[in-house]
Structure 1
Amino acid sequence: MFIDVSYTTEEIAKLLKISKLTVYDLIKKGELPSYRVGKQMRVDHADLEAYKQKHKGLQINERPTNTDRTKSSHMQASITGLRPVVITGQDPSLDILTKHLEKNTVGIRPLRAYVGSLDSLISMYRGESDIVSTHLFDGDTGEYNLPYIKKLLIGSSYTVVNLLSRNAGLYVQKGNPLQLKEWSDLGNQSLRIANREKGSGARVLLDEQLRLHGIKSKQLIGYEQEHTNHLGVASKVSLGEADVGVGIEKAAVIVGNIDFIPLIQERYDLVMMNTPDNQAWIHSLLGILRSKDFKKELQSISGYDLSRTGEILLET
């Protein structure tokens, strides 16, 4: 009998008794066919059943999240016997880091989860991720990341290390016809904005700057419409469907036909929980970040400042 039903990633996670990050990994690897409806990924009933039949007899084991103060343990896979290490974030540098970890670290299987900065930290608090990337601006201190990390991971033992720094600012139409030069210019009447999703670093940066400059978000046309990456925001400006967007310089270079107004250098950091199980791969990670080979590969990508790469910013 044909069953015309589809499931969200949350529903798949509950049905298979695995984490949502594991579901995303299965989708990314092509093991679980999916499609997008609006902002939501869905999997058809038939494809889920086909996956279950294919893997019948094989067990995907997940270790329950610990309730102790570290909140650091998470699911242990797996069919391969390697420990999964979940790396969150969207920057291309993380794909390069994943490749180096896989090549140079024994006993782990690095997995990528394309999650925004704030959601990444929350997933670490819940014990669902291992290496969290974050670029969250705190308007009250002018500091990146540490104020948020200290609040969310209170009582935990963790290490914060710099991955890179990069320019963030405004995407504007070619020639900057509206002469947007400062954050305060976002208060101009009738501006159309292409916005990022809640929890992303770019969205936090925008919201903090609006707060600091006394600008109400409802003044910005399109504020409630969200895009899931920098390229989507830059493309909207390039197509003339928005006057302005907030993001990183690299996306402006890739999309083209727009101008970029740099307004702040954001620090892009990594966070890891300090547990006995993590010590071996954390040591390996720090070695990779400080290695000539890794930095050389990142230097081939324009827009990165690597002057502090591998520097430990906080260790609790």
Structure 2
Amino acid sequence: MLENTTLTPQEVADMLKIAKNTVYELIKRGELNGYKVGKKIRVDLNDVENYKNKTKHTTQNESSDVKENDLSSPDIFYPTRDNTNGGFIICGQDVLLDILSRYIEIRCPGTRTFRSYVGSYSGLLSLYMGKIQVATAHLWDGDSDQYNIPFVRRLIPGIPTVIIHLACRMQGFYVAKGNPKKFKGFEDLKRPDITMINREKGCGTRILLDEHLRLLNISGSDIKGYAKEHFSHLEIASTVARGDADVGLGNEKTALQVNNVDFIPIQKERYELVMKKEDINKAPFNSILEILRSNQFKSELLGIGGYDLTEMGNIIAEL
């Protein structure tokens, strides 16, 4: 039947007359329902129609100056409807989680893994609320100079958790090729000739920025472009490459994928899995440790590049 027609992201983009990347952003923000078939994203036609009707209603009842980035996500879990049907949801935005999801399905036949492309802060809250199975985090606490442990204690109170190391990644600033404005670091964000592009609230990169600004006593209101947000490292780097911003914060791996940007390293971050301690001996949770410690999985990530895998699979903390 027509209402059950399955569409690719490109077909959805053609229907809505938008870019395919915008379709992915709508799915990521929870504004358009999507689901995975193998490695591919698919959208049902009736969900596209529901999205169109919803936005028509919004446009009719809100002022005409609402921007696309002003749309708020009604549900951060992706895809929500499968969570009650045996879905195993992993929060996080790095491609290594897509690879991990594939390995889980191979090792645990019958398990369907889903990815929720939200930031670390929202992922930990989702784990606390019992709406996902595994969260990831790369949250830096400026007072203790420690990653993840302080945030897990605050955001998942009273629930024993386990933190498992995935990889270390280098964070830094994207600038135009050749760094024509001679940008050096956080202090330069105050310069009137510098325009930045920011990440969304709750992601590890945004918290890294805000923690450094707090320690330097710099207000976001003093930074040109601070209020403008994008939802991925790739969007940030691309914005700088196009010349629509002078600087943005992100990881080194993405800088290698985008032409016309240079990378200024700031600090190495720790990217880690968080799960409830009561689950660690259950399938497929126990398979995750086996996968992370396997030579096959590590070899695949080494082939991609951009990761320090020295501690992969180590249990960092039991809280």
Q: Give yes or no for TM over 0.5.
A: yes
Greater Cα shift, 271-280 or 89-98: 271-280
Whole-Å separation in 2 of the counterparts to 1:162 and 1:29: 31
Map of 1:25 onto structure 2: 35
Whole-Å separation in 2 of the counterparts to 1:262 and 1:170: 7
Whole-Å separation in 2 of the counterparts to 1:142 and 1:167: 15
Per-residue CA deviation, residues 122-164 of structure 1 (Å, 9 max, x unaligned), is: 1111111111111111111111111100111111021110111
What amino acid is the match of 2:84?
A
Among candidates 150, 161, 180, match of residue 153 of structure 2: 150
1:262 aligns with 2:265: yes
- The 3 A distance-change label for structure 1 pair 129 and 24 is farther
Q: CA deviation at 1:187?
A: 2.8
Give the alignment of 1:169-188 within 5 angstroms.
169-188=172-191
Give the alignment of 1:151-166 within 5 angstroms.
151-166=154-169
Q: What is the percent sequence identity of the aligned residues? A: 41
Q: CA deviation at 1:190?
A: 3.6
Greater Cα shift, 216-225 or 179-188: 179-188
Map of 1:17 onto structure 2: none
Give the secondary-structure state (helix, strand or coil) at the position aligned to 2:159: coil
1:239 aligns with 2:247: no
Whole-Å separation in 1 of the counterparts to 2:225 and 2:308: 32
Map of 1:289 onto structure 2: 292
1:100 aligns with 2:75: no
Greater Cα shift, 190-199 or 305-314: 190-199
- The 3 A distance-change label for structure 1 pair 21 and 222 is closer
Among candidates 79, 87, 90, match of residue 87 of structure 1: 90
Give the secondary-structure state (helix, strand or coil) at the position aligned to 2:311: coil
Give the alignment's TM-score, normalised by structure 1.
0.77
Give unmatched runs, 5+ long, in structure 2: 1-29, 55-80
- The 3 A distance-change label for structure 1 pair 21 and 290 is farther
Give the alignment's TM-score, normalised by structure 2.
0.76
Contact 2:127 2:135 (C-alpha < 8 Å) held by counterparts? yes
Q: CA deviation at 1:168?
A: 0.2
Let me know the Cα RMSD of the aligned residues. 2.6
Contact 1:193 1:242 (C-alpha < 8 Å) held by counterparts? yes
Whole-Å separation in 2 of the counterparts to 1:131 and 1:247: 23
Give unmatched runs, 5+ long, in structure 1: 1-19, 36-40, 47-73
Give the alignment of 1:185-224 within 5 angstroms.
185-224=188-227
Contact 1:189 1:219 (C-alpha < 8 Å) held by counterparts? no
1:125 aligns with 2:128: yes
Map of 1:56 onto structure 2: none
Contact 2:199 2:205 (C-alpha < 8 Å) held by counterparts? yes
- Which protein has the bigger helix share? 2
What amino acid is the match of 1:142?
D
Give the secondary-structure state (helix, strand or coil) at the position aligned to 1:179: coil
What amino acid is the match of 1:139?
G
Q: CA deviation at 1:110?
A: 0.9
Whole-Å separation in 1 of the counterparts to 2:201 and 2:279: 34
1:275 aligns with 2:278: yes
